[in-house]
């Protein structure tokens, strides 16, 4: 199932977003929608929390949830995020493997070599523009706020980030060829510019699940990709 990108001053709360999707699924089940009948089981439950737009995998029973979580915990899944950033490091390919812990009193994560858990994110630059850059972040296990925290640690300023840095959100001047008036106050994507573009796992089948990026992402990408390439080709070229 595809979770839409939710705009706001803060990133969407993962638990609230999951609960909303669960309610939507159960509603469709009660309507006897054939597509969702198979999810009846013990109640649809998300296999992981996703604090941004992108594919969400739901299990229809406790048994299937257990299988999904075991597979996920064995690092068999691959998450590929798209990020729009306000610049970035000189390197085009950076891996961050700093351990991630959840803050005891604040709703955020932090780097801790004593209480943190294993986490690794590989960042690769795809496009360099005038005001923004497109990066991919890839991981096989997702800790809370891992992408945003690791991005901050390597000096990658995600547009719209307000918790692990202060960086301007995507606004109308960032998009080339804009005809309608509007300056930095005309926000097009209020939160951190992150989108889970692709999810793959052997247990989920041979084909990866993909999710269309938000309109502001698409418009910027189309304006900066070479005419002979599309986004998927650019992503496939990454190792």
**What kind and span of H or E run contains 64?**
helix 62-73
Band of residue 115 on the pLDDT scale cut at 50, 70, 90? very high
pLDDT tens figures, 48-61 = 566 688 887 777 67
CA distance between the termini of the chain: 27
Token pair belonging to 217: 């992402």
Record the tokens describing residue 16, joined without a space: 């609230």
**189 SS3 class:** strand
Angle at 128 between CA 147 and CA 54, to 5 degrees: 35
Q: What is the pLDDT of residues 196-239, one digit of tens each?
A: 999 998 888 888 888 888 889 998 998 888 776 777 777 777 65
Q: Is the pLDDT of residue 35 over 80?
A: no
Fold of 2-236: Pseudouridine synthase (3.30.2350)
Domain ranges of the chain: 2-236
Lowest mean pLDDT among 14-23, 66-75, 189-198: 14-23
pLDDT in tens, 147-194: 999 999 999 999 999 999 999 999 988 987 655 555 566 888 889 999
pTM for the complete prediction?
0.80
């Amino acid at each position: 199932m595809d979770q839409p990108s939710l705009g706001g001053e803060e990133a969407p709360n993962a638990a609230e977003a999951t609960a909303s999707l669960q309610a939507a699924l159960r509603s469709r089940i009660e309507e006897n929608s054939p597509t969702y009948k198979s999810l009846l089981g013990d109640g649809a439950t998300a296999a992981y929390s996703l604090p941004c737009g992108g594919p969400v995998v739901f299990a229809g029973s406790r048994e299937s949830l257990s299988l999904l979580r075991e597979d996920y915990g064995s690092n068999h899944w691959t998450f590929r995020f798209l990020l729009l950033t306000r610049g970035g490091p000189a390197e085009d390919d950076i891996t961050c493997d700093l351990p991630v812990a959840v803050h005891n009193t604040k709703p955020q994560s932090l780097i801790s070599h004593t209480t943190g858990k294993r986490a690794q994110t590989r960042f690769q630059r795809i496009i360099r523009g005038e005001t923004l850059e497109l990066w991919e972040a890839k991981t096989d296990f997702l800790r809370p706020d891992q992408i945003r925290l690791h991005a901050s640690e390597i000096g990658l300023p995600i547009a719209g980030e307000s918790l692990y840095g202060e960086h301007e959100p995507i606004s109308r001047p960032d998009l080339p060829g804009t005809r309608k008036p509007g300056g930095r106050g005309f926000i097009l994507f209020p939160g951190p510019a992150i989108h889970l573009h692709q999810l793959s796992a052997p247990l989920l089948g041979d084909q990866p699940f993909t999710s269309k990026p938000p309109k502001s992402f698409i418009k910027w990408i189309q304006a900066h990709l070479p005419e002979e390439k599309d986004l998927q080709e650019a992503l496939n070229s990454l190792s």
